[in-house]
Chain A
Amino acid sequence: MPETATPIDKRPMVLLTPAFIAIMALVVIPMSFILVYSFYENVDLAVDRVAFQFGNWEQLFSDNYYHSAIWKTLKISVVVTVLAAVLGYLPAYFIAMTTFRHKWLLLLLLILPFWVSFIIRTLSWIHILGNQGALNGLFQWLGLADAPVRMMFNEFSVMVGLIHVFLPYMILNIYVSLEGIDRNLEPAARTLGATPWQAFREVTLPLSLPGLAAGSLLVFVLTGGSYVTPLILGGPSDFLFGNLIYDSVVTELNWPMGATLSFTLLVLLGSVVILYSRFMGLNQLSKAFG
């Protein structure tokens, strides 16, 4: 009996092609240009010479200025991620577990801030934390402070701004994870003698970890790439690595150095994504978006 050749299913290839082209055109090719540009030489402001030299990379590896910026960026990203995870879990849990009939309304409230410009949302903190802001007004009205308490233009306000902007990403991820958990598991644990806290800690929390991890990855990467928030809410020494890129490209008009720093940031944040993928699997991200 002659063997019949199994026809190759071309559908996956066809379906993947548009995404592949988009990633090539919008990510791989532009990043390749940036890598090539990092070897050029900046002769004067806005004047670059085509070259293949390692001056920019040497400067990056030998200059402590850049190393301290990387360290500061990683530190702030970790703190913002941890705080966002802690602050985001409660509302996510509430939305997932509530028996409120119009749950969609709660989710709508969650994404409502996205309707307002990111810059405006960031600037709004000046009216809340500033010397003449709402909080200082409240403190003085309650007699808790005679003079305005300084809460703006420091690392604290930068972190508040970053958490404010990125918190919805964390909540949505955790919510999706919690929503997928079988509602009977916690009551089952209770019938076996677990306290409510034990049931949460040993059943719900472990099962929601993929969402928590996916949210943490997004918040970490987005924070690590930020530069506008520290620019608006930070004081002189509150900056992230992205601010050095802005300085190189826009104020110093030194594109080769800006390209070097951009590629470095890509590698750093890309490494975090690879680590995440190694331990958690990137498919958790797709779950988070339904």
Chain B
Amino acid sequence: MTRKMDSTKRYEKLREAVGNGDVDRRTFFGLLGSAGITAGLSGGIMTAMAGQARAAGAELHFEGWGGVVSEALRKHAFDPYEEATGNEVVDATFGGENEVLTKIKAAGSTSGHNILHSSGVSWYKRWVDNGYHVVLNEDNIPNLEHVMTAMIEAFRAITPDGLSAVPYNYGTTGIAYNTKHISEEKAKELGADLLLDKELKGKIGGWGGDWANRAWYGALQSGQDPNNIEDWDAVWDKAREHRDLVLKYWSSGAELMDLLAKEEIWVTEAWSGRVAALQAQGHPIGYMDPPNGLAWMESMFVLEGSPIEEAEELLNFMLDPETSIAVAAGQKYPSALDPTKIDMPEEVQNLPAFDPTGKLEALVFRNPETWNPHEKKQGAMWNRVKKGG
């Protein structure tokens, strides 16, 4: 098993474990101290040894969202793949794909970046527009036939000559709330406006990392169709209203879970799978998708310069129904496999956002045609609004 895990990642894992009650506070601080000393003393040696260990077999660098998602991929996909093929998957965590794009642009090469757990059709288009895509040989990925047509077509529309990614999972960004302090009735009654409830000032969170997420909710709160926003001023007015009530904008899934689990915040928009993970851990967290709530799909994107055949082999392995279902159950996001073709266990069927029809018609996705043209201007606007502008 090869896993690139820095001190921060280790710390986040430890915090999650403390949040789950798996590690008591005394042990936590003991481990924290030991981790610091160990990292200081052994970092160099371990890096050198890891380099030697990787000398044999092909190496694929994977970057994903961290936390329970990475845990599931490592356990159910990468470890078995490494065992079966002798190749190695070096997985790392990013805060967003913009970080990866910045690194690649700065380095002038995709070296060290092969497969991304890419978010949405918009990012698929961005990677393609920047020339970082490949053309996958779909014959080498026979398990692609199990994937929902609706998902494949969304990506194929951008690259009709061949896919550079395989759809992998989907989910929603709904509203998570602490049921000890907010009733289900109140949550349903207020919908997206629950995030603007003045009574909850200082107990509200928000995702700071994505302008479109904030704008989507601003559109809902200002009574507009998120896929056809006409009044951007009204959207940002709602974002300002939200900002004045917010304790903290979170920037990663681990931080979201930590803030909710520790009850630093009682309500926030949240990723469905992360909330399902918190619920499975026994935290009193409710979840709802307000009308016109935001849905998204994720893919495994292969970057230009990667060892293609090995990457295709890994993707096929990841799409194997047994692996894909295990990952879905582990990461708490429904699999991209068509449930009308592949039997899904009850555990997956009960996940938030799961669509038994395999057509995804009940979910509302971001339309790249209407969103992408606004990204440059409105993305910068969000950064200002977030900071008090």
Interface size on B, residues (CB 8 A): 44
Give A237 to B376 CA distance when docked, in angstroms.
22
Interface size on A, residues (CB 8 A): 36
Q: Are B11 and A150 in touch, CB under 8 angstroms?
A: no
Q: Are B126 and A236 in touch, CB under 8 angstroms?
A: no
Q: Are B387 and A130 in touch, CB under 8 angstroms?
A: no
Chain A 242-277 residues near chain B, CB threshold 8 A:
243-244, 247, 249-255
Which of A6-14, A88-96, A111-119, A208-216 lies at the binding interface?
A111-119
Chain A residue contacts of B258, Cβ below 8 A? 126
Q: Are B376 and A250 in touch, CB under 8 angstroms?
A: no
| Residue B45 at the chain A interface, CB threshold 8 Å | no
Q: Are A237 and B40 in touch, CB under 8 angstroms?
A: no
Contacting B388 at CB < 8 Å: which of A47, A237, A247, A250?
Answer: A237
| Residue B109 at the chain A interface, CB threshold 8 Å | no
Give A235 to B383 CA distance when docked, in angstroms.
14
Q: Are A252 and B8 in touch, CB under 8 angstroms?
A: no
CB of B181, distance to nearest CB on chain A (Å): 12
Give A44 to B373 CA distance when docked, in angstroms.
9
Chain A residue contacts of B307, Cβ below 8 A? none
Chain B residue contacts of A115, Cβ below 8 A? 36-37, 39-40
Q: Are B11 and A251 in touch, CB under 8 angstroms?
A: no
Contacting A119 at CB < 8 Å: which of B7, B126, B375, B380?
Answer: B7
Contacting B379 at CB < 8 Å: which of A126, A131, A243, A251?
Answer: A251
| Residue B389 at the chain A interface, CB threshold 8 Å | yes
Q: Are B36 and A120 in touch, CB under 8 angstroms?
A: yes
| Residue B356 at the chain A interface, CB threshold 8 Å | no
Residue of A nearest to B389 (CB): A65
CB of B45, distance to nearest CB on chain A (Å): 15
| Residue B209 at the chain A interface, CB threshold 8 Å | yes
CB of B252, distance to nearest CB on chain A (Å): 11
| Residue A152 at the chain B interface, CB threshold 8 Å | yes
CB of A185, distance to nearest CB on chain B (Å): 39
| Residue B99 at the chain A interface, CB threshold 8 Å | yes
Q: Are A252 and B379 in touch, CB under 8 angstroms?
A: yes
Residue of A nearest to B249 (CB): A236
Contact with A along B233-270 (1 / 0, CB 8 A): 00000000001001111010000001000111000000
Q: Are A117 and B36 in touch, CB under 8 angstroms?
A: yes
Contacting A153 at CB < 8 Å: which of B7, B98, B248, B389?
Answer: B248
Chain A residue contacts of B13, Cβ below 8 A? none
Residue of B nearest to A114 (CB): B40
Give A152 to B262 CA distance when docked, in angstroms.
13
- A-B residue pair count with CB separations less than 8 angstroms: 95
Give A123 to B376 CA distance when docked, in angstroms.
32
Q: Are A249 and B379 in touch, CB under 8 angstroms?
A: no
Contact with A along B1-13 (1 / 0, CB 8 A): 0000011100100
CB of A158, distance to nearest CB on chain B (Å): 12
Give A257 to B117 CA distance when docked, in angstroms.
28
| Residue A175 at the chain B interface, CB threshold 8 Å | no
Q: Are B380 and A131 in touch, CB under 8 angstroms?
A: no
Chain B residue contacts of A189, Cβ below 8 A? none
| Residue B130 at the chain A interface, CB threshold 8 Å | yes
Q: Are A231 and B379 in touch, CB under 8 angstroms?
A: no
Give A120 to B38 CA distance when docked, in angstroms.
14
| Residue B386 at the chain A interface, CB threshold 8 Å | yes
Give A235 to B8 CA distance when docked, in angstroms.
21
Chain B residue contacts of A44, Cβ below 8 A? 376
| Residue A45 at the chain B interface, CB threshold 8 Å | yes
* Known A-B contacts A252-B379, A253-B101; A231 and B251 likewise in contact (beta carbons under 8 Å): yes
Q: Are A251 and B209 in touch, CB under 8 angstroms?
A: yes
Give A119 to B101 CA distance when docked, in angstroms.
23
Residue of B nearest to A42 (CB): B376
| Residue A169 at the chain B interface, CB threshold 8 Å | no
| Residue B228 at the chain A interface, CB threshold 8 Å | no
* Known A-B contacts A45-B376, A235-B246; A252 and B36 likewise in contact (beta carbons under 8 Å): no
List residues of chain A with CB under 8 Å of any chain B CB: 42, 44-47, 65, 69, 115-117, 119-120, 123-124, 126, 130-132, 150, 152-153, 231, 235-237, 239, 243-244, 247, 249-255
